[in-house]
A = this chain, B = another copy of it.
Amino acid sequence: MITGKNYIGNRISAKGTITYKTFNPELHQENSTLFTEASSTEIEEAVNLASSAFKEYSKISGEKKAAFLNEIASQILLLDTLLIDTYCSETGLPEGRAIGERGRTVGQLKAFANLVKEGSWVEATIDTADSNRKPLPKPDLRKFNFPLGPVVVFGASNFPLAYSTAGGDTAAALAAGCPVIVKSHPMHAGTGELVASAIQKAAKIIGMPNGVFSNLNSKGIEVGQQLVTNPGVKAVGFTGSIKAGRALYNLAATREEPIPVFAEMGSINPVVLLPEALRKNAKSIANTYASSITLGTGQFCTNPGLILGVKSEGLQTFINSLSDDILKINPSVMLHPNIKEGYLKNKENVTSQKGVVVQADLTEVLKTNYAPQSVVSVKGVDFLKNTTLHLEVFGPFSMVVECETISELETIILQLEGQLTGTIIAADEELEQYFTIVNALQTRVGRIIFNGVPTGVEVCESMVHGGPYPASTDSRFTAVGIGSIKRWVRPFSFQDWPNSMLPKALQNNNPLGILRTINGKKTTDQIIS
């Protein structure tokens, strides 16, 4: 049952006055539930509950946190078709995608559960005392990762499960020991409420402190602003547009106590087509990219929006094939009329710029909210001069830049804004031949791909989903994979602390059996005192 209300801790509440409904873009009609935006009082209450829950939750065992995360995963699966149907009705995305994303979400929760159950993630580091050291005795110092405090997570429009209510940020923050307050995304408030109910059930079953999780509805930007400026909030996770992400970053940076904002924002994910690869495989590369550009109606942050090559017969073949192939792909619906409108507007903005040539643009009459895919091209010199062409067009769109020379291509890469990914399509020997291109690309991205596509973000420890600004506001952390737990912790050190009063991770006899660094050596050994 979807109530349209907020979860203030474990209590359902709807004291606010602003209401809204979600929208089914496939049927082009509103869904039935009326959602109530969280009021100022409710927001304040959620933060206070989280602060109070933090006292207990920051100290509970990894085992108990793992049980909580695993139980959330189970409760999400128990929502069954209600969740999948709600997801589809609020996004227009097909059932297969919903089920796949649910699998990813459940997988992420379990991966973090395993991480904290095992326990070595706290990076316990111990330097033992030496009372005989001259000129001064050496103290005993023991360091581990300690959670930051209550975390606010903003739901993302394009991943109602994997990057929203119980998505990567929430799973990582809960694993770290931080209570979470979710600012639900208005486009999938029903999906969000269902997942929130699963989290609340899990919290009750495992016996978590009230306030470990809250879910706040919001129609506009005010709920988010109030959360980010609340002194009780200690960090923020966000996935969305540069404009919104930067606004939150600015808000957080101007607080009396600034806090970290991890905003994963725009990216056009440059793809470099090297000459020999183009000469050999222009058509098959084009075919692969037609699919990548249109995957999920182009609504992925790793969508390849920029393709760079040097003028040649191969590049011309690539452009022609890409244009042909992309028009053969069945168009699909976007998440929301607003997103479709944004797509058309941004595309129009780019295609109206000097030198931009439309190579392919689906002109057939489409169902409402369906997106016409497009490919445009532009000369390197025009792209260099005009940063409007660097803007992300969120949707099934890509721009091919025809460079005069390889050095012009390198200049373009060096002047690009930060990106989540960069891709090199090359014949074997070309990586070595064009190493300055590769090096240039490495300074602009978080992940570099060889002969593949940027779409498809593997959830694993070696993934980096992040990159130099504006791909993210903090390139030192990934948004995907168990490494993202580091966003929500700080190192904390005990000096000369009595052994029995230390957290288990730092006690002499290593009761958790974790891997620790003792006097510079990695070991699971006990310390014989």
Contacts and interface: CB of A to CB of B under 8 A. Distances in A.
Interface of A: 55, 59, 125-127, 136, 138-139, 141-143, 146, 148-149, 249-250, 253-254, 257-258, 260, 417-418, 428, 431-432, 438-439, 442-443, 446-452, 456, 458, 460-464, 466, 468-470, 473-478, 483, 486, 489-498, 501, 515, 517, 520, 522
B141 A475 contact: no
Nearest to A486: B476
Contacts of A517: 461
Contacts of A501: 431-432, 438
A448 B503 CA distance: 13
A469 B257 contact: yes
Given A460-B141, A469-B258, A475-B148, A448 B491 contact: no
A492 B447 contact: yes
B492 A446 contact: yes
A334 B55 CA distance: 42
A138 B458 contact: yes
Nearest to A100: B135
Contacts of A428: 498
Contact of A493 (B138, B148, B446, B452): B446
Q: Which of A450, A462, A476 has the most C-beta atoms of chain B within 10 angstroms of its own C-beta?
A: A462
Contact of A141 (B258, B442, B458, B497): B458
Given A136-B456, A464-B492, 11 more contacts: A125-B461, A126-B462, A127-B461, A139-B452, A260-B474, A442-B492, A446-B491, A458-B495, A464-B493, A475-B490, A476-B489
A127 to B, nearest CB: 4
A1 to B, nearest CB: 32
A283 to B, nearest CB: 21
A476 B418 contact: no
Nearest to A449: B495
B462 A142 contact: yes
15 contacts: A125-B461, A138-B458, A139-B452, A250-B253, A257-B417, A257-B469, A257-B470, A258-B473, A442-B492, A448-B497, A450-B495, A461-B517, A463-B493, A476-B490, A515-B522
Contacts of A466: 490-491
Nearest to A128: B462
Contacts of A253: 249-250, 253-254, 258
Nearest to A488: B476
| 4 tightest A-B CB contacts, nearest first | A464-B493, A141-B462, A253-B253, A449-B495
B496 A451 contact: yes
Contact of A490 (B138, B431, B446): B446
Given A149-B443, A257-B418, A458-B141, A497 B450 contact: yes
A463 B515 CA distance: 18
A85 B148 CA distance: 44
B260 A461 contact: no
Contacts of A258: 249, 253, 469, 473
Contacts of A432: 501
Q: Which of A432, A446, A475 has the most C-beta atoms of chain B within 10 angstroms of its own C-beta?
A: A475
Contact of A448 (B125, B439, B464, B495): B495
A442 B498 CA distance: 15
A83 to B, nearest CB: 20
Nearest to A451: B496
B491 A476 contact: yes
Q: Which of A257, A438, A491 has the most C-beta atoms of chain B within 10 angstroms of its own C-beta?
A: A491
Given A443-B149, A458-B139, A450 B496 contact: yes
A233 B407 CA distance: 24
A25 to B, nearest CB: 25
A461 B432 CA distance: 38
Contacts of A469: 257-258
Contacts of A486: 476
Nearest to A440: B55
Contact of A522 (B260, B446, B477, B522): B522
